[in-house]
Chains A and B, each alone.
Chain A
Amino acid sequence: MESSTQQRVIEIVLATAGLNSATQVTAETQLLNGGLSLDSVVVLELLLALEKEFKIELNAQELFEAQALKTVSSLAGFVDKKLG
C-alpha cells in the first residue's frame, strides 16, 4: 500500500525525470544506478521540486549520507521524516 507521500514523490519523480508512464515507477524502483539512473542534474531538480511541494528544506549531501536516494520508498521515507 503506497502512502500519500510516496504517491506524490512518484509523481514528482516522473515529472522531473520526464518519464512517460506512472505504472513503471513503484516504491521499490531504484532512483540511481540500475534503476532510473537519474543524473546529478535531475537529482538536484528533484530535490528542489520536493522542497517546493512539501515546503521542506533538503540538502543533497544529507540525502546521500542517509542513502535516501536509493529508492522511491527511501526518498518518501526521508521526506516523511522531514515532515515530522
Chain B
Amino acid sequence: MIDKMLERFAFFQPGFTALVQGNRVVRYGELPRMIESLGSRLYADGVRPGHTIAVRMPNSIETALSVLAGARLGARILMLDYTLKPGEVDAYRCKADAVKILCAGPDAENLARHGVPAGVLLTVDAIQPVTAEMADSPQAAPNEVGPGREGGFLLLSSGTTGTPKIVVRTAAQTEAALDIFDSTLPVGTGDRVLCTMPFFHSFGLLYVLLTSLRSGAQLHMEPFSPRTTAATVERNRITILPAAPFMLRLMAETPFSKRPDFSSLRLAVSAGSALPAAVAAGFLEQFGVAITQSYGSTETGPAAVGRMEPGAARPGWIGKPYAGVVFEFAGSGAAGESGKQGLPISVRSPANAAGYLGDAAASAGVFRDGAVLTGDLGYRDGAGEIFILGRERPMLNVAGKKVSPAEVEACLRTHPQVVDVLVQGVPTPAGDERVRAVLVCRLPVTDLELRQFCTERLADFKAPREFVFVDNLSEGPLGKTRLPPTASTGAVRKARLPRKSWLRRRIELAATRILCLPFHIAPNSAFAMKYADISGRLRYRLSLGETPESVRHVFGDMPARRAGEIAMEITIQSQKAKLLTCRAASSGIDGLLPLVRCRGGERLLDLHEKGQGAIVIFAHMGPRFVSGILTAKLGIPSLQVRRGGVRIRLPETMEVWFADDSQDRVTLFLKRAVEYIRSGRVVVLALDGKQGGSSESLTIMGQTQHFSRGIGLLNSITGAPVIPVSGYWAPDGMIEIVVHEPLDIGGSANVPKGERGSAAMKAAVKWMESLVRERPGDLRSLSRFIEGQELADRKDV
C-alpha cells in the first residue's frame, strides 16, 4: 500500500499541496523525505518491521506522517483515540504489544505521570520538511520492507462483553478498502478535503486520510466547530467534507447571520452512525448540499453508500453496496428480499478485516466464512437498496464512536456505593445516542461524583451523561433485557410497586428531557411503558382543555418557561397523532407504513415460524394500528378487522383482544389465550390506558395487579412467554415499534410463593378449575396439564 502511495506521490506535481494545518503546509514533493526521515527516527528507536507502534494524536501533519512512516517501516500501526485515559491507553498498548506510543509532548508527560512506561513514549512534535542532506544521514532505515511485508493497522472497536476489541486490518485489506472508496467516492488531485473525522476512526483513516492522500488531494486539518468548519469550507473552497452526523446536525442548526458559500462543496459524506433524514434535510436547506451517507464499520470497511436527495428520505435506507461488496441476509439467501423484516446482515468484502487481536472466540462470532456479521438487522428491497431496521447487539453509538454498555457497567460496579447498574443509550436528534446509567446505590451518590468516577477511568465520551437512581433494577416486566429470558426470572420475582418518590423522579426526568419522545426507546420496556403512561396522562390533561400553566403543577418548582416548552412539545405530539389518524383514515395501514419502522420483529417471526405460542402485550396504541404494523412489517397474513367489535382476528396466527370496555375482557382474553397458545398461535393483548390496564397496572380476574406482576401472572397462567411491545416517536419523526425480549419465567412452576394466597391467584385458580373441569387444582397442576397437552399434541403430530 505505502509503496504504491509513494510511487503515486512521485507522479504528482512536487509543488502540489498535500497537508495543511493552520499556517503549516507540506507539499507532495516534500512528503517522501519527511516520511523517510521519521521512519529513520523510528528505526533508530528500535522499531522494526513486524513491530507494533501506537499513534495517539489529534488530526495533524504529525499524525499523518506517523501513519505513513510506520507503514513505510513495515510496522503495524495501532490507531488510538486521543481522548482515551492513560489506563486505557496502557491496556491497549499491552494487548497489542506496542513497542512505542507516538504522541505529542504534553501528552507524553501526562501518560508518563499516570504510569505509562516512559521508555515506550515517543514524542512527535512539529516535524519540519527534510532537506536532501538530512535524508542521507547514516541513521536512515534499511529498505527491509518489500511487498507483502507491511504491518497493516490495528483499530479499536468496542466489545459487547466489557472488553474492547482490537480489529486487525492487514495492508492488503486496507488497500482493498481504498480501492472500494476510489470506485464510488473518488477523490482527485483537484480536491480539497476537510479532515474533521479523526484519523483513529476507520472512515477517517481509510477514506479521509489514505484515499485522499493516495489520490493527490489537499488535506486540511483543523478541529471541528460549526462556525470554523463552515468558514474553512468557504475560505479554502473545500470540495469534500466528511463528517459524523452530529457534526452535520450542529452545522445545520447553527444560526448563521449570512449563509456560508458552500458552492465549492461537491461531496458531503456522513459516516460513523445512521444519518437521520431530518439532519440531511436541514443541511440541504442551510447549505444547499445533499449529504451522501456511507455505511460501514471498523470490521467491514466501506459497505454501502447512498446520496440523500431532497424528498427521497426513506427510513433505515443506507443506499446500495459499494462496488465489490456483497450483503447477505441470514435466512433469506443472498437476495435478502423476503419481506421487509429485519434479518441479520453479513457483509462479504475484500476490505473485511482479519479478526480481533487475541480474541479467537469473539472473532469466531463475527468473522464467519469470509463474511462479517455486522450485528445490524435489515433487508434489501427489489431495487437492491439496503435498509437497516435495528441492531441485535447491545452497542451504543456516541457521536460515531462505539461504546460497550458492559464496559461502562463494569467501571461503575467498581464504585463502592454502586450495587447494580444498567447502561442504556438515549437517542439524540443526530441519530446517535448518549449514555445513560440506571443505578441502585447503597448510599446517596451525586451524578457529578459518578461522572467524575467514570471520566477518571474511561474516555469522556464513554462516561454516562445521565444517571437515574432506582431502588431495584428489576422494576419492570423484563428486568435486564440483555440477559437471556431464563436469567430474568429473579427480576420478575423481585418486582414490586415503585415508591412515590421514585415515580416523582421519573416524572421530573420525563418532563425535563423525555417528553419530546413520548415513548422512550429504553431497552427496558418497563421504562418505555412508564414514559408512555406519564406522557399519556399529560396529553390527556391538555386534551381536556387544560393550559400549560395549569399543567405546571405536575412539575412542581420547574421554571415556567420549561414547563411551557414541555406543554408545547406535548401539543405538537398530539398534533402529530391527529395527522397520523387522518392519514390512517384516508389511506389505511399501508399509508402509514412509510412512517413506521419495527425493531425486534424477528422475535415474533421466530415464534411464528417455530409454531410457538406467545402473548404480545402493549398499551397506549391502537390495536389495529400496532397489529397492522406488525403484520405488514413482518409479513404475517393480513388482518381481518371486525368494526364495532372488540376482537381482531388474524387467521391462523394472531388473536387480538382490545380491552376497551370492560376489565373482564382481560379475563376473557385469558380464557381464549390458553386455547390459542396451545395451538401454537401468537396472541396479542392490547390494553387501553384507562380501563383494561396501563403501564401502572393490569387487571386480571377482576384484581388489579402492578403491571410487572400482572405480566408475570399472565406468563404463569398461560405458560407462554409474554412479549411487551412499546412504541414512540423517534427523533427523526418516524414511529418506532419495538418488540422486546420475551419474558418467560417458566410457567406456573416459578410463581412466587407469596402470590399463591393472593386474591388474584385465588380467582385464577377458581377460573382454572371451571375451565379444566377434569383436572381441578392449583396453577402448578394446570401447568402440568398444559405441558401434558403439549406433549400429547406433539405425539399427535
The residues of A with any CB-CB pair to B shorter than 8 Å are 11, 15, 17-21, 24-25, 34-42, 44-45, 47-48, 51-52, 55, 57-61
Contacts and interface: CB of A to CB of B under 8 A. Distances in A.
Given A18-B434, A18-B465, A39 B460 contact: yes
B767 interface: no
A44 B313 CA distance: 27
Given A18-B434, A36-B448, A61-B223, A48 B466 contact: no
B497 interface: no
B455 A20 contact: no
B433 to A, nearest CB: 11
B470 to A, nearest CB: 13
A58 B559 CA distance: 26
Interface string B742-785: 00000000000000000000000000000000000000000000
A44 B225 contact: yes
A41 B228 contact: no
Given A18-B466, A41-B399, A24 B448 contact: yes
A15 B255 contact: no
B451 interface: yes
5 contacts: A15-B512, A18-B465, A24-B448, A25-B448, A37-B463
Contacts of A18: 426, 434, 436, 465-466, 513
Contact of B254 (A15, A25, A41, A48): A48
Contacts of A15: 512-513
Interface of B: 83, 223-228, 246, 250, 253-255, 257, 398-399, 426, 434, 436, 446-448, 451-452, 455, 459-461, 463, 465-468, 509, 512-513, 559
A72 B225 CA distance: 20
A24 B467 CA distance: 13
A59 B512 CA distance: 27
Contacts of B225: 44, 47, 59-61
Nearest to B460: A39
B370 to A, nearest CB: 36
Contacts of A37: 451-452, 455, 460, 463
B451 A59 contact: no
A38 B455 CA distance: 9
Contacts of B223: 60-61
Contact of B227 (A35, A52, A59): A59
B452 A20 contact: no
A76 B30 CA distance: 46
Given A24-B447, A48-B250, 14 more contacts: A18-B426, A21-B446, A21-B447, A24-B448, A35-B452, A37-B463, A38-B460, A39-B460, A39-B461, A41-B246, A48-B226, A57-B227, A59-B228, A60-B225
Nearest to A20: B447
Closest 9 CB pairs of A and B: A60-B225, A39-B460, A37-B455, A18-B465, A18-B466, A41-B399, A39-B461, A59-B227, A24-B448
Contacts of A25: 448
Contacts of B83: 39-40
Contact of A19 (B226, B255, B448, B559): B448
A51 B465 contact: no
Contacts of A55: 255
A36 B466 CA distance: 12
B398 A20 contact: no
A64 to B, nearest CB: 9
Contacts of A51: 254-255
A51 B256 CA distance: 10
Contact of B466 (A11, A20, A35, A41): A20
A56 B385 CA distance: 43
A39 to B, nearest CB: 4
Contacts of A40: 83, 460-461
B257 A41 contact: no
Contacts of A42: 465
Nearest to B222: A61
Nearest to A14: B512
A57 to B, nearest CB: 7
Contacts of A57: 227, 257
Given A39-B461, A41-B398, A44-B250, A19 B447 contact: yes
Given A37-B452, A39-B461, A60-B223, A11 B447 contact: no
Q: Which of A15, A21, A44, A57 has the most CB of B within 10 A?
A: A44
Contacts of B509: 20
A47 B223 CA distance: 15
Nearest to A17: B465
Contacts of A24: 446-448
A55 B509 CA distance: 28
A75 B460 CA distance: 20
B466 A44 contact: no
Contacts of B246: 41, 44
A34 B465 contact: no
Contacts of B434: 18
A77 B552 CA distance: 32
Q: Which of B83, B448, B451, B559 has the most CB of A within 10 A?
A: B448
A79 to B, nearest CB: 15
A51 B455 CA distance: 27
Contacts of B513: 15, 18
B259 to A, nearest CB: 14
B435 to A, nearest CB: 9
Contacts of B255: 51-52, 55
B559 A11 contact: yes
A41 B255 CA distance: 18
Contacts of B559: 11
A45 B224 CA distance: 12
Nearest to B435: A18
Contacts of B455: 37
Given A18-B513, A20-B467, A41-B246, A61 B451 contact: no
A39 B224 CA distance: 13
Contacts of B426: 18
A58 B460 CA distance: 23
B129 to A, nearest CB: 26
Q: Which of B225, B398, B436 has the most CB of A within 10 A?
A: B225
Nearest to B247: A44
A57 B227 CA distance: 9
A59 B222 CA distance: 13
A39 B82 CA distance: 12
A21 B468 CA distance: 11
A60 B222 CA distance: 12
Nearest to A33: B455
A39 B466 CA distance: 13
Given A15-B513, A39-B460, A48-B253, A61 B448 contact: no
B466 A45 contact: no
Contacts of B447: 19-21, 24
B249 to A, nearest CB: 9
A40 to B, nearest CB: 8
A37 B466 CA distance: 13
B399 A61 contact: no
Contacts of A36: 448, 451
A81 to B, nearest CB: 17
A25 B446 CA distance: 11
Nearest to A59: B227
A76 B250 CA distance: 21
Contacts of B448: 19, 24-25, 35-36
A60 B466 contact: no
B250 A45 contact: yes
